[in-house]
A and B are shown apart, each in its own frame.
Chain A
Amino acid sequence: MDESPPVFELLDHPADIGFRARGATLEELFANCAHALISIILDPASATATEQWRMEAEGSDLESLLVNWLNEVLYYVDTKRLVFASLAIEFPELLRVRCTARGERRDPAKHPVRLSVKAVTYHQLVISKEQDRWMAEVYVDV
Chain B
Amino acid sequence: MSEVLLEPRDEYRYRIPRNAAIGMRTDVLVYSSQALIKQIQKDQSLVQAMNVATLPGIVGPSLAMPDIHQGYGFPIGGVAANDIEEGVVSPGGVGFDINCGVRLVRSTLTKAGVQSRLKQLIDQIFRDVPCGTGTEGRIKLKRDEIDKVLVKGARWMIENGYGEPADAELAEAAGALKGALPNKVSERAKERGTPQIGTLGSGNHFLEVQYVDRVHDSQAAQAMGIEKDQVVILIHSGSRGLGHQVCTDYVALMNQVMAKYGIELPDRQLACAPIQSLEGQSYLGAMAAAANFAWANRQGILHFLRDAFRRVFSSDVRLGLIYDVCHNIAKREQHVVDGQRREVLVHRKGATRAFPAGNPEIPEAYRHVGQPVFVPGSMGTASWVLVGQPRAMQESFGSVCHGAGRLLSRTAARKGKNIQEERRKLEENGILVRSESRDGILEELPEAYKDVDEVIEVVHNAGLAKKVARLRPMGVIKG
Q: Is the CB of A115 within 8 A of B135?
A: no
Q: Are B203 and A142 in contact (CB under 8 A)?
A: yes
A140, chain B: closest CB distance, angstroms: 9
Residues of A within 8 A of B436 (CB): 113
Candidates B73, B192, B202, B268; contact of A79 at CB < 8 Å: B192
Q: Does A54 contact B (CB under 8 A)?
A: no
Stretch of A21-29, A63-71, A91-99, A126-134 at the chain-chain interface? A63-71
A112 CB to nearest B CB, Å: 7
**A122 pairs with B479, CB closer than 8 A:** no
0/1 per residue, B240-252, Cβ < 8 Å to A?
Answer: 0100110110011
Q: B268 touching A63 by the CB < 8 A rule?
A: yes
Question: What does the 1/0 interface line of B105-133 toward A look like (CB < 8 Å)?
Answer: 00000000000000000000000000001
Given contacts A112-B437, A115-B202, A121-B72, contact A71 B248 (CB under 8 A): yes
Asked if B72 contacts A68 (CB within 8 A), the reply is no
Nearest residue (CB) in B for A109 is B134
Total cross-chain contacts (CB, 8 A):
101
Interchain CB contact (< 8 A) of B256 among A60, A63, A71: A60
Contact of A55 with B by CB under 8 A: no
CB of B252 within 8 A of CB of A15, answer no
Contact residues, A102-141 vs B (CB, 8 A): 108, 112-116, 118-123, 125, 139, 141
> Which residue on B lies nearest to A61, using beta carbons?
B255
Chain A interface: which size bin?
20 to 34
Contact A116 B269 (CB under 8 A): no
B133 touches A75 (CB 8 A): no
Closest A residue, CB atoms, query B132: A116
Known A108-B135, A113-B134, A141-B72; contact A123-B269, beta-carbon cutoff 8 A: yes
- Kindly list chain A residues whose C-beta atoms are within 8 Å of the C-beta of B72: 16, 121-123, 139, 141
Instruction: Give the A-binding residues of B (Cβ under 8 A).
Output: 43-44, 69-73, 76, 95-97, 133-135, 188, 191-192, 201-203, 241, 244-245, 247-248, 251-252, 255-256, 267-269, 271, 406-412, 436-437, 439, 479
A-B residue pairs, 3 tightest by C-beta: A122-B268, A118-B96, A118-B244
Contacts A113-B133, A141-B72 supplied; 13 other A-B pairs, CB < 8 Å: A13-B410, A14-B69, A14-B408, A15-B406, A79-B241, A108-B134, A113-B436, A115-B202, A118-B247, A121-B73, A122-B72, A122-B267, A123-B269
